[in-house]
């Protein structure tokens, strides 16, 4: 820590040397200091999206989310317990960029040209272009894994697995809203997050912890370009069988630093009744957007229920055979029959959770596609 005077209000405060920007706790001024020269520079393009939810509201959202996956919505409230809830405001560099991609590749012909036996006749050379406009977000934290779920937050609408950490702000935040909302309303929410930003001021944190800015804009732009390059490469690959050339051009419109509110939560699933004795209580994670109150990411309780049901049937059948053998061959088979009957009953009980797993799979799909909708305030 290092004591510095704010270049705006001149009040001295303690600052972390390693941070790229310092935030005055008195007047919320953002500034950078060059330690070699001691020169301070105020940074004006710093904004914050106000946190709009409190712990109580987040808990309600989580309960709604549980109900969505529970075969019995009434039970959901008592079987899921939120064990931890933290509101954080994370700095992100938001890069406004127009991206233009041109690609060329081969597409396999549906039916080969019988008159031309050369390998050439099997493929068609195709090319295409596409344009996208993004407000691409790159975390300004050195360690993105400080919060669960922030490392792979981009879930493209296309069948593409994102293996980069950046994300388009508008379509990512407010994804996973609970409740039936029309596409028009959804777009309004998407636009709203960017429009809702205010010049940075600690008072907009509204109960979330403000994290400091550690990464500079040069690195953020470099990373955003690489993320979009990778994304567009995969988009082009979807359109042909063998991609042979691709060029992606970037037209940067601007860059801003924006603090975005998220809530991280932990929960445990404790089924009631008989199942209580067979469930391992494992904490699972949730990530909720503090602006639109949507569930951005959620770890689901996975239960191997289908297997259990099969097990129940197999062991039940075995029991029957053993009972027959006990009558026909030797009474000692009855002991084995009792054992398999026990296993069968247990499996059947556990498979009652079958519905849960199905819900899990559907939910995962919904989250990935951004179509999970429950109810939003
Ligand atoms: Zn100040």
Question: In angstroms, what is the span from residue 30 Cα to ligand 1's centroid?
Answer: 9
Whole-number pLDDT of residue 189: 61
Whole-number pLDDT of residue 374: 39
Distance CA 152, CA 258 (A): 19
Whole-number pLDDT of residue 20: 97
State how far the alpha carbon of 191 is from the alpha carbons of 46, 186, 200, 308, in Å. Answer: 18, 9, 19, 46
State how far the alpha carbon of 275 is from the alpha carbons of 279, 285, 350, in Å. Answer: 6, 22, 7
Question: In angstroms, what is the span from residue 41 Cα to ligand 1's centroid?
Answer: 13
> Considering only CA atoms, which of 133, 123, 120, 165 is closest in space to residue 146?
165
Dump pLDDT digits (tens) for 32-80. Answer: 999 999 999 999 999 999 999 999 999 888 888 888 877 777 877 888 8
- The angle, 0 to 180 degrees and rounded to 10, between the axes of the packed helices 305-328 and 333-351 is 160
Question: In angstroms, what is the span from residue 26 Cα to ligand 1's centroid?
Answer: 5
Question: In angstroms, what is the span from residue 233 Cα to ligand 1's centroid?
Answer: 45
Whole-number pLDDT of residue 373: 41
pLDDT averages per 10-residue partition of the chain, 377 residues: 95 95 97 94 97 91 83 80 94 97 92 72 90 96 94 91 94 68 61 88 95 97 98 96 97 97 91 65 89 87 59 81 86 85 80 59 54 38
β-pairing verdict for 242-269 and 46-48: parallel
Whole-number pLDDT of residue 370: 47
Whole-number pLDDT of residue 337: 86
Question: In angstroms, what is the span from residue 43 Cα to ligand 1's centroid?
Answer: 13
Distance CA 226, CA 236 (A): 15
Question: In angstroms, what is the span from residue 202 Cα to ligand 1's centroid?
Answer: 12
The residue whose two tokens read 């569930």 is 295
Whole-number pLDDT of residue 100: 98
Distance CA 3, CA 17 (A): 9
Whole-number pLDDT of residue 273: 66
Question: In angstroms, what is the span from residue 94 Cα to ligand 1's centroid?
Answer: 24
Dump pLDDT digits (tens) for 113-137. Answer: 677 777 777 889 999 999 999 999 9
Q: Which phi and psi angles does 221 have, rounded to 5°?
A: -65, -45
Whole-number pLDDT of residue 102: 98
> Considering only CA atoms, which of 34, 150, 39, 42 is closest in space to residue 89?
150
Which DSSP helix (H) or strand (E) runs through 234? helix 217-239
């Amino acid at each position: 820590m290092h004591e510095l005077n704010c270049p705006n209000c001149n009040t001295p405060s303690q600052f972390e040397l390693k941070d790229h920007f310092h935030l005055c706790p008195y007047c919320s001024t953002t500034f950078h200091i060059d330690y070699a020269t001691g020169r301070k520079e105020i940074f004006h393009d710093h904004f914050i999206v106000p946190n709009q939810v409190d712990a109580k509201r987040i808990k309600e959202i989580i309960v709604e989310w549980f109900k969505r996956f529970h075969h019995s919505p009434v039970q959901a409230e008592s079987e899921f317990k939120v064990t931890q809830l933290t509101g954080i405001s994370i700095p992100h560099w938001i890069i406004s960029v127009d991206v233009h991609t041109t690609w060329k590749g081969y597409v396999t012909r549906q039916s080969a040209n019988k008159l031309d036996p050369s390998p050439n006749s099997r493929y068609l050379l195709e090319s295409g272009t596409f344009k996208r406009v993004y407000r691409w977000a790159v975390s300004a934290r050195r360690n993105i894994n400080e919060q669960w779920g922030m490392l792979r937050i981009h879930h493209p609408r296309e069948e593409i697995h994102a293996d980069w950490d950046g994300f388009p702000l508008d379509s990512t935040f407010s994804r996973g809203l609970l409740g039936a909302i029309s596409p028009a309303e959804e777009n309004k929410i998407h636009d709203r997050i960017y429009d809702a930003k205010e010049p940075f001021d600690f008072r907009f944190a509204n109960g979330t912890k403000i994290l400091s800015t550690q990464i500079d804009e040069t690195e953020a732009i470099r990373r955003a370009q690489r993320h979009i390059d990778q994304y567009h490469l995969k988009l082009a690959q979807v359109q042909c069988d063998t991609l042979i050339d691709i060029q992606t051009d970037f037209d940067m419109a601007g860059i801003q630093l924006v603090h975005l509110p998220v809530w991280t939560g932990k929960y445990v699933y404790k089924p009631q009744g008989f199942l209580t004795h067979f469930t391992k209580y494992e904490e699972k994670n949730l990530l909720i957007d503090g602006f639109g109150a949507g569930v951005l990411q959620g770890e689901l309780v996975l239960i191997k229920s289908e297997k259990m049901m099969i097990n129940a049937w197999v062991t039940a059948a075995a029991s029957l055979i053993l009972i027959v053998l006990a009558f026909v061959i030797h009474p000692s088979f009855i002991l084995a029959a009792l054992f398999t009957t026990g296993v069968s009953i247990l499996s059947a009980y556990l498979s009652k959770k079958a519905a849960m797993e199905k819900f899990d799979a559907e939910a995962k799909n919904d989250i990935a596609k951004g179509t999970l909708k429950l109810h939003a305030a």
